Amino acid sequence: MKVEEAIKNRRTLKVLAAEFAEVKDISTDVSRILEMGHSAPFHYINSKAQEKELTSLAPWRFYVLNGEACRKMASYFEENEIAGGKIIDMLKAAQTLIQVTWTPETVENDSLVSEAINIEHIAATSAAIQNMLLTATSLGYENYWSSGGMLKEEQLFTLLGIPLDEKLLGSIFLFDADTSAFKTKKGALRGRQGSIEKCTKKIKL
């Protein structure tokens, strides 16, 4: 699938399962998806990289749960009576969940510089997420970029071994292409951005 096709075909789709869906091994494809995410551009290094278990200079971090781990996470929500909403049903359906985080920079005496760097970190991590969504689409997987809901709470970070100073930018759910056996919900804003003319102004000097 060409890049243009992946961009046009990519869509937000929640796939919801009342019972556990069959777990499949998609690890080879997930590795490719992660590699493409990790190929995103970034402007500033992660200054805390050397202090952590994951030492990449890039601002993003990927925490990956395969289908089996997703099912265990769904059970954890239910057994501990955590109000996860649709997150639980997505965990029952997903073949993989990728928790994508970034680490904020803190500067004591120059907050404006810190804010600028953090905006760059968020932009870079967003680019990594988009790379992953497009790659997943090109490989035939339905996908959903969630803000995380309860998955961004301290309790769940601790369970997954994610450092508490990191911020969740996206919970990326990967689902099978065939969703006919499940309830699905499309993104509410798909196609509502209007024509390109409504967001473009050509400047003449």
pLDDT digits (tens, 9 = 90+) for 182-197: 999 888 777 788 888 8
In the chain, which residues have pLDDT < 50? none
**CB under 8 Å to 137, separation ≥6 — which residues?**
1, 6, 9, 10, 11, 143
Whole-number pLDDT of residue 9: 87
Of 124, 161, 129, the residue nearest 144 (C-alpha): 129
| pLDDT tens per residue across span 60-96 | 999 999 999 999 999 999 999 998 899 999 999 999 9
Q: What ranges make up the beta strands (E) of the chain?
A: 13-16, 60-66, 96-102, 142-146, 167-175, 183-186
pLDDT for res 63: 98
Q: CA-CA distance, 79 to 65, in Å (whole number)?
A: 19
| Strands of 4-149, DSSP E | 13-16, 60-66, 96-102, 142-146
What per-residue confidence (pLDDT) applies to 193?
Answer: 84
Query: Two tokens at 170?
Result: 């996206």
Taking the C-alpha atoms of residue 33 and residue 137, their distance in angstroms, rounded to an integer, is 10
Residue 108 confidence (pLDDT): 67
For residue 100, the model assigns a pLDDT of: 98
Give dist(CA 107, CA 36) in Å, integer.
31
- Residue type present at position 13: L
For position 110, what pLDDT does the model report? 62
Q: Which domains does the chain have, with CATH numbers?
A: 3-198 (3.40.109.10)
First and final CA of the chain: distance in angstroms?
39
Contact predicate 16/183, CB 8 Å: yes
